[in-house]
Amino acid sequence: MPPEDAAPVLSVRDLTVEFVTRRGTLRALDRISFDVARGEVLGVVGESGAGKSVTGSAIIGLIDPPGRIAGGEVRLAGERIDDLPDEAMRKVRGKRIGMIFQDPLTSLNPLYRISEQLIETIQVHTDLDATQARARAIALLDEVGIPAPEKRIDSYPHQFSGGMRQRVVIALALCAEPEFIIADEPTTALDVSVQAQIIALIKTLCRERGTSVMLVTHDMGVIAETADRVAVMYAGRIAEIGPVRDVVKEPLHPYAQGLMGAIPSLEGETTRLVQIPGSMPRLSAIPSGCAFNPRCGQAFARCHVERPELVAVGDRKVACHLYDEPRRSGAGAEIAA
């Protein structure tokens, strides 16, 4: 369990990302806020187009034009990083925030040996000389579970299997001992038996090094087993965020409830799966009020006009009018009705 009292490693407040296109401005992230504590794994789930990956890219400052951060702030260990100039941001990226992407083959340069890639990264971020850097690279490969690292280090990426390559990518992310790692679908390209090994590895690294991880994935099973807390995203907003056990077992937000019910499980009865009608809205046509209201079975007048804010319900936060305190009988709702 992560220490609750410590200051968060990462703090995101009202982060908004927009893409300016010919047909108007698309809002990919709409005022999202969350914290990640030291040594904690925060899972971010959602379906395609929910804004999971954009969240990761925005934090490390890799939103390319026409996209831009239109508002809000990102703080790493209390220090604001979203408005840093490119040069300063480059020092944060890799050094203080590590990254693991979905496809390990595209994260590694196929023309360079693993040793060259690891040693280069280590030397960019530390003062070690070549011999020391090599020793450190071997130690890292050993830590991520690559057998005979002193021999394998001089191999090329294609000589590794998918699971081993992803281990190399994790070693690469760990080179500079970052405080925070963004893992974007790290196991999606892998087979289940290998996926389990990579999940176990990420968990061990968090526990032993105190590194915080933001784990972005569409796979609720991976989140359920890896994360301490989970944020469920929908149409660029956070629908629900809280301890993983609560959100998986008893989701509060109607979208989270539908999502959990839709997942076939290895336990329980194989009855009909819960079905959410329709699909995620396009960014160009996000419904007014609560973005989920056209698909929600419990929507009422207020949901169509007023966007719900994240409100605390016990240990978690939910953005749904069903859990709002009834405030001044909702003037807007009456106008709409």
Residues in the site for other proteins, rule: CB under 8 A? Answer: 47-48, 161, 163-164, 191-197, 199-200, 218-222, 224-226, 244-245, 248-249, 258-268, 270-276, 279-280
- Report angle CA 246, 251, 252 to the nearest 5 degrees: 115
Burial (CB count <10 Å: 0-12, 13-18, 19+), residue 70: middle
3-state secondary structure of 129: coil
Q: CB 108 → other proteins: shortest distance, Å?
A: 18
Contact of 168 with 146, CB cutoff 8 Å: yes
Q: CB 5 → other proteins: shortest distance, Å?
A: 22
Nearer to other proteins, 33 or 188 (CB): 188
Please confirm whether the linkage preceding 104 is cis (ω < 30° from 0).
no
Q: CB 266 → other proteins: shortest distance, Å?
A: 5
At position 63, the amino acid (one-letter code) is: I
Nearer to other proteins, 73 or 225 (CB): 225
Q: CB 251 → other proteins: shortest distance, Å?
A: 11
Nearer to other proteins, 102 or 121 (CB): 102
Nearer to other proteins, 160 or 180 (CB): 160
| Sequential DSSP letters for 214-270 | EEE-S-HHHHHHH-SEEEEEETTEEEEEEEHHHHHHS--SHHHHHHHHHS--SSS--
Nearer to other proteins, 71 or 261 (CB): 261
At position 275, the amino acid (one-letter code) is: Q
Q: CB 291 → other proteins: shortest distance, Å?
A: 14
